[in-house]
Structure 1
Amino acid sequence: MSKPERARLVIGVSGASGVVYGLRALEACRELGVESHLIFSKAAALTLSQETQLSLADVQARADVSHRVGDVGASVASGSFPTLGMIIAPCSVRTMSEIATGVTSSLLTRAADVTLKERRPLVLMVRETPLHVGHLRTMVRLAEMGAVIAPPMPAFYARPASLEEMVDQSVGRALDLFGLSWRPVKRWGRDIGPLAGEGGA
């Protein structure tokens, strides 16, 4: 019998503000023992330099596999390559719009299109505000195609003590959509809320 394959998650990072979401998703995969396949857009590399002190090589070193955004022949460009799905964190309006058209010009959007056609979870942490009607119509179209639109919203009920905790809660809740339970997530009824800490009936 062949050895069971390790669970894999494709992590895309586009040029929207909030590159930290992608970074934490990579770190979460490492903690969870999930094989991460990173696709970093050219615009994301610019955002990285503006929002962190890290180099692209630093980020790529955190992934199990790093794919060039122009490599449309990469493993994740094929539906025959099994994965849990794909998260784009953060997801820019341009990336979101390209996925919605099905006319993909890079590995980032090609991998997202493959995820949709294979009926695997595609989670888009869209970073844009305010939204005009064109953005909203694109989101509806994507939702109808099977994508999950998951903007990184702060969960104040979790009483975050730092920006890092707010980021981790958003990333962890997105990972829930792949059936991955990450330790930093604070859950209602367990860690917080009126029933937190109570035993079963």
Structure 2
Amino acid sequence: MMQQPENKRLVVGITGASGSIYGIRLIETLLDLEYTVHLVISNAGWRVLKEEMDWDVTNREDVLREQFGHRAGTLVYHPVSDIGASIASGSYLAEGMIIMPCSMGTLSSISNGSSDNLMSRAADVMMKEGRTLILVPRETPLHAIHLENMLKLSRLGVRMIPAMPAFYYKPQTMDDLIMFLVGKVLDSLRIPHQLFKRWGEPDERG
């Protein structure tokens, strides 16, 4: 059986940083664009989904099926402890990986090459294979270690898109602010979208 072209496969990670809704909206958007999304959620990420999204995480695969099963693309869930998953190998073709939101703990693990779970291992694979890795840090304030880790990764080609929404396009709802960040991630992946009004352009949102 032929593998699906890698330009329709992306890895998405959700960590224990506040702002899990960012990752949820990203997954929904990618699935609606008919991508195959390989999803990794840290244990702390599941805790935040319970607290912030009121998800019943007792049966993790059931809740993911309930949330995303009706969308056009394919969701493939990998437990964070499954170091033997397909996305842990560079021979498995994927266009890139986005960790949204990215905790400072996960960022530190990636920065220091500590591939002790599937999240950090998959990120390490993206870096060693020269594929796109996007981190969406969500923390404030930031101290010097946070900034140094970001700088180290940025110098290695990792793209930093902090969870810092803009206001020039006059967002009307919280979802407008969330989708702005999702749109910035898609821009970095060169995926066309109409999720927010661009500066100097008419509002194309439906």
TM-score for both structures, normalised by structure 2: 0.88
- 2:125 and 2:96 map into 1 onto residues whose CA distance is 9
Aligned to 1:35: 36
- Cα deviation for residue 188 of structure 1 reads 2.1
Does the 8 Å CA contact 1:173/1:185 hold for their aligned counterparts?
Answer: no
Query: Which consecutive residues of structure 2, in runs of 5 or more, have no partner in the other structure?
Result: 69-73
| One-letter code aligned to 2:180 | Q
- Cα deviation for residue 41 of structure 1 reads 0.4
Query: Which consecutive residues of structure 1, in runs of 5 or more, have no partner in the other structure?
Result: 197-201
Deviation digits for residues 114-169 of structure 1 (CA, Å, limit 9, x no counterpart): 01111111110001111111111111101112211111111101110000010001
| SS at structure 2 position matched to 1:122 | strand
Alignment pair present for 1:66 and 2:77? yes
Question: After the TM superposition, which parts of structure 1 deviate over 6 Å for at least 4 consecutive aligned residues?
Answer: none
Aligned to 1:125: 136
Q: Give runs of aligned pairs for residues 160-171 of structure 1, distance below 5 A.
A: 160-171=171-182
Alignment pair present for 1:105 and 2:116? yes
Does the 8 Å CA contact 1:28/1:182 hold for their aligned counterparts?
Answer: no
| Cα distance change of structure 1 residues 59 and 85 upon mapping to structure 2, 3 Å threshold | farther
- 1:36 and 1:65 map into 2 onto residues whose CA distance is 6
Does the 8 Å CA contact 1:14/1:95 hold for their aligned counterparts?
Answer: yes
- Cα deviation for residue 182 of structure 1 reads 2.6
- 1:127 and 1:156 map into 2 onto residues whose CA distance is 18
Aligned to 2:90: 79
- Cα RMSD, aligned residues only: 1.7
| Cα distance change of structure 1 residues 186 and 124 upon mapping to structure 2, 3 Å threshold | same
Q: Which moved more, 1:139-148 or 1:84-93?
A: 139-148
Aligned to 1:199: none
Aligned to 2:5: 5
- 1:90 and 1:3 map into 2 onto residues whose CA distance is 29
| One-letter code aligned to 2:36 | E
Aligned to 1:18: 19
| One-letter code aligned to 1:142 | L
- 2:77 and 2:115 map into 1 onto residues whose CA distance is 19
| Cα distance change of structure 1 residues 125 and 59 upon mapping to structure 2, 3 Å threshold | farther
Does the 8 Å CA contact 2:22/2:101 hold for their aligned counterparts?
Answer: yes
Deviation digits for residues 28-63 of structure 1 (CA, Å, limit 9, x no counterpart): 111111111100000001111110122343652226
Identity %: 42
Does the 8 Å CA contact 2:161/2:184 hold for their aligned counterparts?
Answer: no
TM-score for both structures, normalised by structure 1: 0.90
| One-letter code aligned to 1:87 | I
